[in-house]
Structure 1
Amino acid sequence: METFESLVRAEFAPKNTFLNTASSGLLPARTVTALREAVLIRAEGRPLDPLFQDVEQSRAAFARLAGVPVTRVAAGASVSAHSGLVAASLPPGAEVLTAEDDFTSVVNPFHTRGDLKVRIVPLERLAESVRPGTVLVAVSAAQSADGRIADLAALREAARAHGARTYVDFSQAAGWLPVDAESYDYTVSTTFKWLLGPHGAAFLVVPPESEGFGELKPVLAGWVAGEVPWDSCYGPIAELAHSARRFDVSPGLFTYTGTRSSLELIEELGVDAVRAHDLALADRFRTGLADLGYAPLPAPDSPIVSVPGLGARQGELSAAGLEVSNRAGNLRASFHLYNTPADVDRLLNALSP
């Protein structure tokens, strides 16, 4: 019987100490194999049907991960495009509540509308800041800069009490933190970080058709948004898809082939097992930092650890084969399923005075 450890070791063999999943995850071996086959399909002139099937299999896998029917999942290319879609659905003057210093792809489309009232508050005050007249609350489940986890339960209750919708980005959480998209109006996630896919795929979960898809407008709809896509190639679409597929954009086929394989691995391993593994490594790192006299930014129960004042060492660490990030002067290390205690200790040794 395959174990967590054996599954992971069969898929990953990094040539360095990679502690930067919050920027992008490593590709599993099965994903690399799938990508090579997809390239050959194009190069040899074979029918592309298997690649379009990969889009639907990826959509179904993400729906299972998010705990929603597949009919509520739209496939796109980026979080910012999905944020723009949600922003376009809001009436002029609507108040949108966001967290201070949240990731740009989540919040910027609401600012660029120009006719929305965007209110920014500290993450810890987000739930208490929902008020009558707030139309939408947009936030990342886990903050990119420092790994802080939003109090989503409190936010959900506050939004319901005031009739506001919720838009939650799981890009820094999906893969190690349960998504539970059913609890929010809209959820979004890219797939190239903790879900280990190639760049260029992102999923948006919307309300069901019976709720008018949350009043979203299919402003990006092309031929793939038709109920019968191959009958929707010319002129206006006669019949939009009766599912969230009406919000799809034309997919990067290679990307979705890789995404399908990566999501299969996450399902095999199980999010709970990945979470336990990742958090144990992050806790080991925090303990070691304390022993060295460093105090990371507070982000308990997160695999993302940011250490103030050490970001400038990113270059020398990279040269030594240790991949981390420099975020606003902070050294950001992020631990995922392919990392080991030895990886943590290697970084701590490099940081030792």
Structure 2
Amino acid sequence: MLISKSEFIGLEGLVHLCAGGETPMLKTHQDAVNRFFEDKIRGEESRDRFFDTSAEAKDKIGRLFGVPADDIAFLSSASEGVNLLVYALDWQAGDNVIVADVEFPSDLLPWTRLRDRGVEIRVIKNRNWQIDIADIAAQMDDRTRVVSISYVSYFTGQRIDLKKLSDLVRSSRAILSLDATHAAGAVPVEASLADIVVSSCYKWLMGVHGVGIFYWNRNRLPDLQPPFVGWHTGSMLSGWQDPTAFEPRPDAGRFEPGNESFISVYVLNNALDRLFDIGLDRIEDHVLRLSGRVWEGLAGMGWEMMTPRGREERAGNVCFMAEDVRAVTSALEARDILIWGSYGGVGRARVSTHFYNTDEDVDAFLSAMQTIPGTAAAAGA
């Protein structure tokens, strides 16, 4: 056990295997929210405290990603980050973007807005639920502008070989846009291998909705301009003499047009403190060991596995197919065991492990899976 369940609100007596959807809340998050409320009444000093807390959180995200804090911006969500890139680039008719068929809609749909400009969206088809980098290479050409992909799939649990993919994309003129939502806080994210990284904060990072991470690799994309501007984005060059004269900030703050959701940032900052206190290496080993136990247990019962078996090919998500996902999740929920059900009408179930899970949690889940009526037929056993 890396952390006691008593540190969380409502977690005791519950087997929570849903980190890939929502995570339970640390009790100290209430203290973080109270600090925000207390800081907010301090008048002009309030803003200084808000910005100081944001800077602290960005410094920790920089450490987590192995990149300078100045290259980190906070947006409202990972979805906003993908859309930002869509509108920041100068597209030409005949350009193309490469995405995968098993991507989360927020990583796929924003690119479709470019079809009106003559941009082709090339969709890589999965092979037995896996995305093969060779298939990405086969679709790339000299008009490929962006390869957009998740480091860890929300749908299948596959962890892509980031170094191999980075080498491929950098052999071309394309940009690698990476969604690290299902990796950050569970396994290391070497953000500098990508050009843009986005991530939600309410899963393994233990935050809440309202803040998303946007990493800008300035060495790779030094001329990337903000498509949306506001009072945070830059500075007025001549004051009121010409209030329209404007220069973007040199750091990633240029992509923040307005105030962040500071209350969300306070919670994230508190969560990051706890993650670093426990140790990222320890969390990674714990998550992978437990997800490995889940994989072996389900495979041993005959379930159709979507997630690769290898330790380097997965993270916290273990996904499997079921004929009646709702029957599975409901039967588990009756035993106070929570997993995540189907998405998009496909019979997929997802089990996600994190640092608050225990071997006893995995034992309880696997034991319950052996007794759920009708699941043997659903598994094809």
| TM exceeding 0.5 | yes
**Quick one: which amino acid aligns to residue 342 of structure 1?**
E
User: Shift of the alpha carbon at 1:247?
Assistant: 0.3
Are positions 1:317 and 2:317 aligned together? no
Residue 117 of structure 1: aligned partner: 120
3-state SS of paired residue (2:305): coil
Aligned residue in 2 for 1:341:
359
Matches within 5 A, 1:272-283: 272-283=281-292
**How far did residue 137 of structure 1 move?**
0.5
- Residue identity over aligned pairs, in percent, reads 24
- SS in structure 2 at match of 1:162: coil
What residue number does 2:53 align with?
54
What per-residue deviation string (whole Å, max 9, x for no partner) do you get for residues 19-49 of structure 1?
0010122222332321132234447879423
The separation in 1 between residues aligned to 2:196 and 2:264, in whole angstroms, is 23
Query: Hey, what does 1:129 align to over in structure 2?
Result: 139
In the other structure, the counterpart of 1:19 is 17
Partner of residue 302, structure 2: 293
**SS of equivalent to 1:333:** strand
Counterparts in 2 of 1:9-48, with a 5 A limit? 11-12=7-8, 14-15=11-12, 16-42=14-40, 47-48=45-46
Question: How far apart are the structure 2 equivalents of 1:162 and 1:70?
Answer: 27
Determine whether 1:304 maps to 2:313: no
- CA deviations over 1:98-119 (Å, ceiling 9, x no partner): 1112011112111123322110
Matched residue type, 1:243: D
Amino acid at match of 1:12: F
CA distance 1:57–1:323, change in 2 (3 Å):
same
Shift of 1:299: 2.3
The answer on 1:268 being equivalent to 2:277 is yes
Residue equivalent to 2:256: 248
- Cα distance, 1:221 vs structure 2: 2.0
Runs of 4+ in 1 over 6 A off after TM superposition: 43-46
Instruction: Provide the rounded CA distance (Å) in 1 between the counterparts of 2:361 and 2:43.
Output: 43
- Over 3 Å counting, the alpha-carbon distance change for 1:237 and 1:316 in structure 2 is farther
Deviation at 1:90, TM superposition (A): 3.8
* Contact 2:17–2:337 under 8 Å retained in 1: yes
Provide the rounded CA distance (Å) in 1 between the counterparts of 2:340 and 2:7.
24
Equivalent residue of 1:113, what SS?
Answer: helix
Higher-Rg structure is 2
Matches within 5 A, 1:152-301: 152-208=162-218, 213=222, 215-227=223-235, 236=244, 238-249=246-257, 250-300=259-309, 301=311
1:144 aligns with 2:163: no
For residues 333 and 41 of structure 1, do their structure 2 counterparts lie closer, same or farther at Cα, with a shift above 3 Å needed? Answer: same
Tell me the distance in 2 between the aligned counterparts of 1:45 and 1:217.
33
User: Would you say the 8 A contact 1:227–1:240 is kept in 2?
Assistant: yes
Post-superposition Cα deviations, 1:269-298, rounded to whole Å, max 9, x if no partner, equal 232211110111111112222343323213
**Would the aligned equivalents of 1:55 and 1:257 in 2 still touch at CA under 8 Å?**
yes
Residue in 2 that maps onto 1:79: 78
Query: Gaps spanning 5+ residues in structure 2: where?
Result: 126-130, 372-381
Q: Cα deviations across residues 186-216 of structure 1 (Å, max 9, x unaligned)?
A: 11111111111111111111122x6653x43
**Residue 52 (structure 1) shift:** 2.6
- CA shift in 2, pair 1:152/1:211, >3 Å: closer
Deviations 1:154-179 (A, max 9, x none): 21111122221110110000112211
In structure 1, how many angstroms separate the alpha carbons of the residues matched to 2:284 and 2:137? 25
Partners of 1:314 and 1:146 in 2: how far apart? 17
Tell me the CA shift for residue 134 of structure 1: 1.2
In 2, Cα distance between the equivalents of 1:83 and 1:23?
Answer: 19
Q: Answer with 167-176 or 289-298: which moved more.
A: 289-298
Residues in 1 aligned to 2:185 and 2:90: alpha-carbon distance in whole angstroms: 30
**Distance in 2 between the 1:216 and 1:113 partners?**
18
1:78-97 Cα shifts (integer Å, max 9, x gaps): 11111111111141332111
| Secondary structure at the counterpart of residue 223 of structure 1 | coil
Answer whether contact 1:95 1:134 (CA < 8 A) is retained: yes
Change (3 A) 1:132 1:240: closer
Contact 1:85 1:216 (C-alpha < 8 Å) held by counterparts = no
Contact 2:307 2:320 in 1 (8 A): no
